[in-house]
Homo-oligomer: A and B are copies of this chain.
Amino acid sequence: MMLKYPNGKPYKPKNQTPEQVGTGKVKDFSFGNRGKTLEEEINETNEYYLSRQIAIVHKKPVPIQIVKVEYPKRSAAVIREAYFRTPSTTDYNGVWNGYYIDFEAKETESKTSFPLKNVHEHQITHMKNVVDQQGIAFTIVRFSKLDRYFFLPFSVLYESWCHMKKGGRKSIPLETFESKSYEIIPGYNPRIDYISIIKKFICNKEC
């Protein structure tokens, strides 16, 4: 049976054996970046930034409602009943050079457009709030079949979202990404260098 989060994303225990649970040791069976999820690629990027003191960005844990916990003798507490809760924010946030950074990572299998059903109302609300407080909000979109990555500023996403709400198009065409967002060329390390894009983005607004 495939495990899934309530949002439909498959649950991945990341090849952990029971002995590895809670130790932070996760064996990586992938070769290069083959088969890595966008989340894994961004986590690696964030680790790179952190280790070089370039930016401090973390993924937020999945929110859980805990109901029952057991305390076995001589071993770690075990959660025996808990439920997934709907997150009220995006997945990633942090700070770079005095700027507050807040973003979501999304993948699509489509080769021609990014379906807005991938984005939830609460994420739009949260990112709108962030931008109103002068934070930097964006979405990293990966077109998996094309192996292309984009930094989609919130303003562009919001325009499409509002348009959809008025009965307009339910997706953002690839051409809009090409003309109004920033393409991220994946590298080795950092893999998804979104900080270099933020520098361009700020410069385009302020320089």
Among B60, B65, B83, B97, the residue within 8 A (CB) of A134 is B97
* A35 interface residue per 8 A CB criterion: no
* A116 interface residue per 8 A CB criterion: no
A91–chain B nearest beta-carbon distance, Å: 11
1/0 contact trace for A105-134 toward B, CB 8 Å?
Answer: 000000000000000000000100110111
A181–chain B nearest beta-carbon distance, Å: 22
A89, B58: Cβ atoms closer than 8 Å: yes
Q: Measured between alpha carbons, how far is A172 from B35 in the docked complex, in Å?
A: 50
Interface residues on A, range: 35 or more
A77–chain B nearest beta-carbon distance, Å: 6
Residue of A5, A60, A100 with most chain B CB atoms under a 10 A cut-off: A100
A167–chain B nearest beta-carbon distance, Å: 28
1/0 contact trace for A60-94 toward B, CB 8 Å?
Answer: 11111111010100001111111111111100011
A191–chain B nearest beta-carbon distance, Å: 20
* A42 interface residue per 8 A CB criterion: no
* A141 interface residue per 8 A CB criterion: no
The 10 nearest A-B residue pairs measured at CB: A98-B134, A95-B100, A61-B63, A79-B82, A95-B135, A100-B100, A61-B61, A95-B133, A22-B83, A56-B129
Listed in ascending order, the chain A residues whose CB lies under 8 Å from chain B are 1, 3-6, 11, 13, 16, 18, 21-22, 24, 50, 53, 55-56, 58, 60-67, 69, 71, 76-89, 93-100, 102, 126, 129-130, 132-135
Q: What are 9 A-B pairs with beta-carbon distances under 8 A? A: A4-B71, A22-B83, A56-B130, A56-B135, A58-B89, A61-B85, A62-B66, A77-B83, A80-B81
